[in-house]
Structure 1
């Protein structure tokens, strides 16, 4: 009797030993038969019950969630992420928590909703520096993948290179294929067509070496895009048609839409404009039905170009308007600010890991120093017993003491270096003021203390220099830096020692006012605003007047219940001050 495809997969899942569980299983199955894999995983989870090892359950749920994204199965994706979140809580498993975050990130980026890149950064932060090189390589690749799919090519490329090298060290051809494919996506975003085509070719070679023929065909559609830009429309059409056939058979809706778009573009390049336009309209309609907004923007613009070529100018205009509307919904200043903050936090974590490595090296050298000192003591004792070899032992002891001295100097230098690195992570290099990381540490310490119900509430001021971009653009960044230092000196001189001032990015500053109360916080904010506007600027600085806008929020423990919500409330108040005309103070309506 012939087995159905999902039954074959189930037998393969059961046969794989739990001790071999990782985050890299089922990588071809999620492409070849995502629906069958979902059914097989569900059956194994039901049969195993509570006997399943956490690492094995984590791998099964990751495969299920990835297959759900490929097949646009929101129910299966929700089930996988919820179960991963539960596993993370019960088993205290940061890898399961990261897996849930990466799945949500990929779904949000693909569908143009939410803060997908921020979700990916938070997930990567959970497993940064993991001891298992396989987990570390997997997490690094997921972040590379998120940046590449979100078209942040400059940030994706170094991560993709690191992923390739990590997988190379593991001897993982499939992983190298994944990383090279994402590198191709990033290079294509930068318009480096020939380099992107070469990366896709390398990805296909790695997949072929790993006997992943389905992936060889899948990457063929990416390569087809480059062939089309190189004027090889016929070859591009053949590759995209092969990919579409495979994607339709596997039920991978998102990939099928991408291939359909590439086929239409190849047909248009071959002069078949009406046929290309008809195909593109059908693909756009399918994307709307599936709710895949992340792809719909580019598809609408492609349809608009084909409508214009076909003489349907009314449809071309409608497509451009719809694409612009969808783009404005997914690219907001608030999301960009969150992404920047998470990127800075991720970079800071990496620096902390390097500092930790230095400290570990110092500990090893300290042990070596103690061992050398003990050896020197033993040799001095031998000198007293054997006069005959006193000279020889003396020379050896002198050499050893020299080594000890060098080790002491090296140890002191490394400790100074580690201390300097630690200070750099908390200090803004331009102004010498505390930076965002120092601000977050001080704010978290403040919020972590026991709160006196009778004391006034903590207050946060977010300060932004008005029209600072115009200052930089008109008189140059060096003069803009002078403006920043002038405001920094003024803030230092005006804010008392009970409060804490930091530059948290660009032209933005924050002032923490512990137990100040909203009235005192607003009074200080107005003093700072008026004082900045009245600053006597140097005659050689081509700026007539310096003004600032300030958002004020107090920490009420309800609507502002943690640092993130507190900063969001102050940021919204700052935004109101900016949009209300600038050079003013606005208190948050979310707290107080």
Structure 2
């Protein structure tokens, strides 16, 4: 099993002194001294009593729960989750309720009991509407971690990458390293060995930057598994031994089991099959004693392979049967159905939140309409009591009803018209992509927003299709429009979620990347250029090959000090790429 479990929950707790009640207060100690942290939290809770603020109590209990998972202390975990549940009820604290759910989810997934993924989805749902960026990043990562460790990489990968983006916005190197580690787990589960290895290396770099050397060692065991698949057994063995030494010293039982299993695999890869088999038998016995059934399934499969290599076929078969029995106990159709239902419910809640502002505006207009209708009814009742002017009263009532009906029709027409105008003013009718007006609006908002001193500069990419006029002149504008739509479809899938893409005119597109930095912008530009050049075009499209040129400029606040100068810098870089032979990426000489 890849090492995300313990990194998942225990490393979402980075200390943040500027925030008095951060969920990230005890991350490093939960790794290096889990038993000591549990004792310290209990002492603080006992001393503070009822005077302890709810937010501080939540922070302490979350740290205690993560430390309990790291040290396999079920009693401390039960205490933390029960007290979090109580705090959620008494203080009406959805974050405390979510914290308890995430802890139970992590325990259930690790031990192969219950529906851990369902627990994680319900926990994430409780904090879906939170606006605190730390809580949003924390909850997004917990759900990513649950999917990664439940071996559902296709669903884990986008969530984990969103967590990386969220932690990057917070300048949280711990969080970035943690989320990158789970990206590596998802890639490894998909057997993308080289990509996973590169991601683990990146995770270790972020932990090193945060001076978390023990976490660098811990992720090293995940990297060791990729080294084994790459045929680098000796390097893998060294990494796993270093990780095991640290885990035994800090009492992290589950992590130690993983490292021991990886050492056995490395020994087998070096041809020491009997030694590897004997080592793995000890690991399986320890997993049974600890009651960690979620890991026991993977351990049994490893023991089965090593038993076969050592010639013990009877034990190999017994291990496979036991692993199958344990795995089927937690992967039932009923649990899968519940998970699907919870996933759909969670997605529906996200959609509801996005349209809540529009619904609120519509409700106000509906209230105005109902007020007009009520006023018409009151007038109608008064008119009915005036016997001497029945004809006048009837006409007035009819007129008022007509006005109300016209108001209702006018309101509905205005809503439709407003929606149509909004779509027309901000969307390109040919490709459906954001247009120049939408781009200028987004760029103006970005440049007008305050930016942290240490944040990377914003980056602008201007993209132009090479020889597009020749394409239109040779095969017609209809086919040229097809080329534009093909490029649009590719850009939608290839550009990062945090970036904004728009068609700003003709064959020209713009990509706005907030706080990306010039190096990341150049990497993205080169990826887009190479991706377009490698596109397989439809057979009925008479174009042999499609290429683009890209100009890249960063907003440095001096030479590029407003949108006009920024656009000009990127445009000059694009012109340079065109002049240099096309199918090229050029960085602006005016900024950077």
Task: Name the TM-score, length of structure 1 as normaliser.
Answer: 0.59
Asked whether the 8 Å contact 1:365–1:411 carries over to 2, the reply is: no
Between the aligned partners of 1:30 and 1:151, the Cα distance in structure 2 is: 25
Asked whether the 8 Å contact 1:362–1:411 carries over to 2, the reply is: no
Between the aligned partners of 2:286 and 2:87, the Cα distance in structure 1 is: 35
Residue 500 of structure 1: aligned partner: none
Matched, 1:411 2:418: yes
Residue 247 of structure 2: aligned partner: 247
Residue 325 of structure 2: aligned partner: 325
The alpha carbon displacement at 1:413 in A equals 3.8
- Name whichever of 119-128 and 209-218 sits farther off: 209-218
Between the aligned partners of 1:81 and 1:148, the Cα distance in structure 2 is: 22
Between the aligned partners of 1:18 and 1:360, the Cα distance in structure 2 is: 35
Asked whether the 8 Å contact 1:188–1:196 carries over to 2, the reply is: yes
* Unmatched runs of 5 consecutive residues or more in structure 2: 1-12, 367-412, 425-592
Between the aligned partners of 1:278 and 1:142, the Cα distance in structure 2 is: 36
- Structure 1 residues 364 and 219, CA gap change in structure 2 (3 angstroms): farther
- Structure 1 residues 414 and 248, CA gap change in structure 2 (3 angstroms): farther
The alpha carbon displacement at 1:411 in A equals 3.2
The alpha carbon displacement at 1:129 in A equals 2.6
After superposition, the C-alpha distances for 1:379-407 in whole angstroms (9 at most, x for unaligned) are xxxxxxxxxxxxxxxxxxxxxxxxxxx99
- Structure 1 residues 361 and 194, CA gap change in structure 2 (3 angstroms): farther
The alpha carbon displacement at 1:18 in A equals 9.9
Matched, 1:271 2:271: yes
The alpha carbon displacement at 1:130 in A equals 0.6
Between the aligned partners of 2:358 and 2:239, the Cα distance in structure 1 is: 50
Between the aligned partners of 1:119 and 1:100, the Cα distance in structure 2 is: 9
After superposition, the C-alpha distances for 1:259-317 in whole angstroms (9 at most, x for unaligned) are 00000000000011111111100000000000000011111011011111111111111
Between the aligned partners of 1:86 and 1:58, the Cα distance in structure 2 is: 10
Residue 215 of structure 1: aligned partner: 215
Residue 25 of structure 1 aligns to a residue whose secondary structure is coil
Residue 122 of structure 2: aligned partner: 122
After superposition, the C-alpha distances for 1:46-78 in whole angstroms (9 at most, x for unaligned) are 111111111111011001000101100000000
Between the aligned partners of 2:359 and 2:415, the Cα distance in structure 1 is: 15
Asked whether the 8 Å contact 1:107–1:116 carries over to 2, the reply is: yes
Residue 300 of structure 2: aligned partner: 300
Matched, 1:75 2:87: no
Matched, 1:335 2:304: no
Asked whether the 8 Å contact 1:18–1:56 carries over to 2, the reply is: no
Residue 230 of structure 2: aligned partner: 230
Asked whether the 8 Å contact 2:201–2:223 carries over to 1, the reply is: yes
Between the aligned partners of 2:319 and 2:224, the Cα distance in structure 1 is: 25
Residue 191 of structure 2: aligned partner: 191
Between the aligned partners of 2:268 and 2:419, the Cα distance in structure 1 is: 68
The alpha carbon displacement at 1:40 in A equals 0.8
Residue 47 of structure 2: aligned partner: 47
Asked whether the 8 Å contact 1:137–1:167 carries over to 2, the reply is: yes
Between the aligned partners of 1:159 and 1:361, the Cα distance in structure 2 is: 31
Where in structure 2 are the equivalents of 1:336-375 lying within 5 Å?
Answer: 336-359=336-359
Between the aligned partners of 1:365 and 1:20, the Cα distance in structure 2 is: 41
Between the aligned partners of 1:249 and 1:363, the Cα distance in structure 2 is: 61
Between the aligned partners of 2:343 and 2:16, the Cα distance in structure 1 is: 37
After superposition, the C-alpha distances for 1:307-359 in whole angstroms (9 at most, x for unaligned) are 11111111111111111110111100000000000000000011111112444
Residue 151 of structure 2: aligned partner: 151
Matched, 1:256 2:244: no
Between the aligned partners of 2:362 and 2:293, the Cα distance in structure 1 is: 52
Where in structure 2 are the equivalents of 1:405-444 lying within 5 Å?
Answer: 411-413=418-420
- Name whichever of 408-417 and 307-316 sits farther off: 408-417
Asked whether the 8 Å contact 2:16–2:25 carries over to 1, the reply is: no
Asked whether the 8 Å contact 1:18–1:53 carries over to 2, the reply is: no
Residue 57 of structure 2: aligned partner: 57
The alpha carbon displacement at 1:363 in A equals 9.9
Between the aligned partners of 1:107 and 1:414, the Cα distance in structure 2 is: 51
Between the aligned partners of 1:364 and 1:169, the Cα distance in structure 2 is: 35
Residue 129 of structure 2 aligns to a residue whose secondary structure is coil
CA RMSD of aligned residues (A): 2.5
Residue 99 of structure 1 aligns to a residue whose secondary structure is helix
Between the aligned partners of 1:148 and 1:272, the Cα distance in structure 2 is: 32
Where in structure 2 are the equivalents of 1:370-519 lying within 5 Å?
Answer: 411-413=418-420
Asked whether the 8 Å contact 1:358–1:414 carries over to 2, the reply is: no
Between the aligned partners of 2:295 and 2:190, the Cα distance in structure 1 is: 18
Asked whether the 8 Å contact 1:112–1:293 carries over to 2, the reply is: yes
Higher RCO (C-alpha 8 Å, min separation 6): 2
Residue 586 of structure 1: aligned partner: none
Residue 370 of structure 2: aligned partner: none
- Name whichever of 113-122 and 48-57 sits farther off: 48-57
Between the aligned partners of 1:254 and 1:242, the Cα distance in structure 2 is: 15
After superposition, the C-alpha distances for 1:201-231 in whole angstroms (9 at most, x for unaligned) are 1111111111111111100000000011000
Between the aligned partners of 1:200 and 1:323, the Cα distance in structure 2 is: 28
Asked whether the 8 Å contact 2:111–2:293 carries over to 1, the reply is: yes
Residue 331 of structure 1 aligns to a residue whose secondary structure is coil
Between the aligned partners of 2:356 and 2:326, the Cα distance in structure 1 is: 44
The alpha carbon displacement at 1:115 in A equals 0.4
Between the aligned partners of 2:241 and 2:76, the Cα distance in structure 1 is: 28
The alpha carbon displacement at 1:16 in A equals 8.9
Asked whether the 8 Å contact 2:16–2:24 carries over to 1, the reply is: no
Residue 20 of structure 1 aligns to a residue whose secondary structure is coil
Between the aligned partners of 1:92 and 1:414, the Cα distance in structure 2 is: 42
After superposition, the C-alpha distances for 1:424-458 in whole angstroms (9 at most, x for unaligned) are xxxxxxxxxxxxxxxxxxxxxxxxxxxxxxxxxxx
- Structure 1 residues 178 and 19, CA gap change in structure 2 (3 angstroms): closer
Between the aligned partners of 2:76 and 2:28, the Cα distance in structure 1 is: 18
After superposition, the C-alpha distances for 1:499-523 in whole angstroms (9 at most, x for unaligned) are xxxxxxxxxxxxxxxxxxxxxxxxx
Task: Name the TM-score, length of structure 2 as normaliser.
Answer: 0.59
Residue 539 of structure 2: aligned partner: none
Residue 96 of structure 1: aligned partner: 96
The alpha carbon displacement at 1:27 in A equals 1.1
